[in-house]
C-alpha cells in the first residue's frame, strides 16, 4: 500500500522514507508542497488515485499549510477515504484541533519517533484496507441489486382472477372488453405463440382427412 509524504523539508522527507522503507513500506511518494500533492492526488478528478493509501502531511508549510490542505483533500468525495496523519512540532499542538476538524485521522510529533510513526501508519493503512473492502462489498451489493431490479422489471407475471368465457375461451380485460386468449397473454407476458392444430380439432374440422 502506498504512502505519500508531504513536507517542504527534504531532510524530513528523507528521514520518513528511510524509517518506512526499512519497515517494509517500499511504495513511497514525496511532495514538497500541498500544491504538488494535489497534482499527484488528482484533486479535481473523480477517481481515487492508484498507489496512495495514506498521506503523511506536515502542518507547517509555505503557501498552503497542512491543515488547509487536509481540509481540501477531505472535501473531495474521491479522496475523503484516504487517511491523513498530520506531522507536527512538539510546540505546535494548537493546530491539532483545527487539523482534526479538517478531517485528519491521527498525528505524530517531531522529532519523529520511529516506533510511533510505524504504529500509527500501520493502523491507518489497516483502516484504509478495511474501508476499501467495505466499499467493494457495497459496490458488489449495489450491482447485484441493480441486476435484480432490472430482471424484475423485465419479467411479466399473470396473477389474480382472470375472467374467461366458458364457451369461446376469450378473456375479459381490465377495460371490460373480450380478447382472444393469445392476444391477452401476449400483452401481459413475454410469451410468443406458434399456431398449429391439435388432433381432436383436426378430427372435428376435417373428419374426412383424419384417420383413427
Hey, CA dihedral for 76, 78, 81, 87, is it positive or negative? negative
Q: What value does the mean pLDDT take over residues 157-177?
A: 81
- Looking at the domain that runs over 3-141, which CATH code has it been given? 3.40.50.2300
pLDDT confidence band for 193 (50 / 70 / 90): confident
Task: Indicate the domain borders of the chain.
Answer: 3-141, 151-212
Contact by Cβ (8 Å): 3, 20: yes
In three-state secondary structure terms, 72 is: helix
Grid cell listed for 161: 382472477
HSE value, Cβ hemisphere, 13 Å, CA-based, for 14 = 3
The whole-angstrom separation of Cα 41 and Cα 38 is 5
Give pLDDT tens digits for 49-72: 888 999 999 998 988 999 999 999
Q: What value does the mean pLDDT take over residues 170-192?
A: 83
78 pLDDT more than 80? yes
Give the global pTM.
0.68
195 pLDDT more than 90? no
Q: What percent of the chain has pLDDT over 70?
A: 93
155 to each of 42, 183, 188, how far by Cα in Å?
A: 43, 18, 10
Amino acid at each position: 500500500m502506498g504512502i505519500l509524504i508531504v513536507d517542504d523539508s527534504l531532510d524530513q522527507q528523507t528521514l520518513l522514507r528511510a524509517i518506512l522503507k526499512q519497515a517494509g513500506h517500499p511504495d513511497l511518494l514525496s511532495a514538497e508542497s500541498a500544491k504538488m500533492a494535489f497534482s499527484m492526488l488528482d484533486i479535481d478528478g473523480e477517481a481515487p488515485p492508484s498507489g496512495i493509501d495514506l498521506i503523511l502531511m506536515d502542518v507547517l508549510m509555505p503557501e498552503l499549510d497542512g491543515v488547509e490542505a487536509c481540509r481540501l483533500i477531505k472535501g473531495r468525495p474521491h479522496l475523503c477515504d484516504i487517511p491523513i496523519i498530520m506531522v507536527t512540532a512538539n510546540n505546535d499542538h494548537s493546530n491539532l484541533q483545527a487539523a482534526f476538524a479538517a478531517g485528519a485521522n491521527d498525528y505524530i510529533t517531531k522529532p519523529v519517533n520511529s516506533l510511533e510513526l510505524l504504529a500509527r501508519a500501520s493502523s491507518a493503512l489497516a483502516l484504509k484496507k478495511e474501508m476499501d473492502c467495505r466499499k467493494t462489498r457495497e459496490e458488489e451489493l449495489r450491482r447485484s441489486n441493480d441486476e435484480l431490479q432490472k430482471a424484475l422489471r423485465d419479467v411479466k407475471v399473470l396473477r389474480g382472477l382472470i375472467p374467461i368465457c366458458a364457451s369461446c375461451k376469450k378473456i375479459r380485460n381490465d377495460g371490460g372488453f373480450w380478447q382472444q386468449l393469445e392476444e391477452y397473454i401476449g400483452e401481459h407476458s413475454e410469451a410468443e405463440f406458434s399456431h398449429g392444430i391439435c388432433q381432436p380439432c383436426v378430427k372435428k374440422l376435417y373428419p374426412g382427412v383424419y384417420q383413427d
